[in-house]
Amino acid sequence: MSHSVKTTWDFEEAFDLTGNGRYNYLALFACSVICIAVSLDIFGFSVVVDAAACDLELTIQQVGLLVSAPLVGILFAYPWGYLADTQGRRLAILISTSVGFVFSALSSFAVNWQMMLAAKVVGSSFSLSSLTLIMTYLGESVASKHRNEYLFLMNSVNLGAEMFSFALALILLPLPISIYLPWLSITFVSWRLYTFVMSLPLGFGALLMLSLQESPKFLFSNGEDDRTLAVLRKIYLANCGKKSQYPVKALIKSNDIKENTSFCGSLVRQTLPMFTPPLLWRTLQLFYLIILVIAVNNISLMWFPMMLDLVFNSIESDTVSGTFCENLVRNVTMSRPLENICQEPVATKTLAAGLLTSMFFGLLNLSVTKLAVTVLKQPIASVVFFASIQTVGLGIGCLASYFNDMYPTFCRSLATSLGFMLARLLALVGVIVIGDVVVHHCNLIFYTASVGFLSGIAVAVFLPPDKQLDT
């Protein structure tokens, strides 16, 4: 039936008619900016902690608490997912990025490590949720045939964000800045400037979201057909210009429209399907894999600058070679401030290693064998193996696509948020535990990660192929 005659359309058909153009590119750009912003705010903070270690007189245990602070935001993943599924994706993203920007900027003026810890915990409780929300928003802002492509592009940007954080550190941290702020009794030095600059993309991401529309899929599943059509027309106009009129006049009613229920009833309605057949088995699979991928990747990222700094300083101060763990703990005790890294805020070798690692994973997107332990006596070889652990992060984009494809609209954001919440909860515990046990049980940490990788391969074998999801 021709477009000039047919006026009632299935939602997916109506969405496909909007095309793939400027609006979708803007949505990808905005989500990518926010993805970079959150990565800088969360994972770039590990560089901040390393750079501020001498100034704030941090011990290895205090470092563990600080680098784990951004992951505390996982505690709010569930309510953010609920807000996105009930009030809209766009509103949830706007609030999380705006408030996250304010507290991230405030952390650059921390007078002590306790204030920095508090500011980062509050700020990350908002900003961290954006990382899961934009995956759902982007997945619902493009036609199904382009969804996987867009999500993989955004994940590549996410991996590349590390490169940006290390490159920025190489530029800003060596700057001889020293401005005394009498009302705070602190000196504004290069690591504080670095912290403030890294907060700016969150604010920019919030501004970009103002130029976008609410997810049409969300509106349609809410039974708001008029608003859905209005958004689809705007997307069509942005993509196709005024060459022809958008042909859709009405949408076929969705069987997935949410009913008006109480708060508790709504919460149960959105949560229960994930943990009952037929979704139960897929939920267990995806939750396990996302926990494994994010927990290992996040723990590695949060400890990456500090561990490499300790290893490189140990290598330079001692001619005796050793394994990665031997070099890591050689000059570290549990309670003494890390004075051995005060000669340079962050070793240039550490930043260069981080830059090269993120370039490799973000641009080349290659896979390597995930063996976390090496007994090689060559220090540089052991550093390479340590950096290779971050390869596991390449699976985040693929798993995000599975979350978008396998869950119905009314619980999609909640399912994604819950999966990421559990993953980062384990990462939070892992980051803190490592600070307490790394001195005496370093090798055990990497053996445990190896077992986790092998179990993840076994679980991933039973995921359905992509062709079964495109239904």
Per-residue pLDDT of 110-123, as tens digits, reads 888 889 989 988 88
pLDDT (tens digit per residue) in 145-197 = 777 778 777 777 766 677 788 788 888 888 888 889 888 888 898 889 999 99
In angstroms, rounded to a whole number, what is the distance separating the alpha carbons of residues 185 and 183? Answer: 6
In angstroms, rounded to a whole number, what is the distance separating the alpha carbons of residues 98 and 206? Answer: 6
Which helix (H) or strand (E) segment is 221 a member of?
Answer: helix 216-221
In angstroms, rounded to a whole number, what is the distance separating the alpha carbons of residues 68 and 359? Answer: 24
| Assigned domain for 60 exists | yes
| Assigned domain for 279 exists | yes
| Assigned domain for 1 exists | no
Range(s) of the domain holding residue 218: 8-468
Judge contact between 251 and 219, C-beta under 8 A.
no
pTM comes to 0.67
Instruction: Report, as an integer, the average pLDDT of 429-458.
Output: 75
| Assigned domain for 267 exists | yes
More confident residue, 359 or 175: 175
Judge contact between 394 and 458, C-beta under 8 A.
no
Residue with tokens 């001498």: 54
What integer pLDDT is reported at residue 332 of this predicted model? Answer: 60
| Assigned domain for 182 exists | yes
In angstroms, rounded to a whole number, what is the distance separating the alpha carbons of residues 360 and 193? Answer: 27
What integer pLDDT is reported at residue 135 of this predicted model? Answer: 82
What integer pLDDT is reported at residue 343 of this predicted model? Answer: 52
More confident residue, 335 or 348: 348
Judge contact between 418 and 274, C-beta under 8 A.
yes
pLDDT (tens digit per residue) in 364-394 = 443 432 333 343 445 555 555 555 566 566 6
Instruction: Report, as an integer, the average pLDDT of 121-129.
Output: 85
Average model confidence (pLDDT) across the chain:
75
| Assigned domain for 142 exists | yes
Q: What is the CATH number of the domain that holds 314?
A: 1.20.1250.20
Q: How many CB atoms lie within 10 A of CB 56?
A: 20
pLDDT band at 339 (very low <50, low <70, confident <90, very high): low
pLDDT (tens digit per residue) in 226-253 = 888 888 888 888 888 765 687 878 888 7
More confident residue, 258 or 136: 136
What integer pLDDT is reported at residue 94 of this predicted model? Answer: 92
Instruction: Report, as an integer, the average pLDDT of 427-450.
Output: 73
pLDDT (tens digit per residue) in 416-430 = 777 777 777 777 777
Amino acid at 101: F
Which has the minimum average pLDDT: 44-53, 151-160, 220-229, 258-267?
Answer: 258-267
Q: Please state the domain count of the chain.
A: 1
For strand 8-9 and strand 250-251, is the pairing parallel, antiparallel, or unpaired? parallel
Percent of the chain whose predicted confidence (pLDDT) is above 90: 9
What integer pLDDT is reported at residue 350 of this predicted model? Answer: 61
- Dihedral-angle region of residue 367 (phi above 0 means left; psi in -120 to 50 means alpha; beta otherwise): beta
pLDDT band at 201 (very low <50, low <70, confident <90, very high): very high
What integer pLDDT is reported at residue 128 of this predicted model? Answer: 80
pLDDT band at 206 (very low <50, low <70, confident <90, very high): very high
In angstroms, rounded to a whole number, what is the distance separating the alpha carbons of residues 66 and 44? Answer: 12
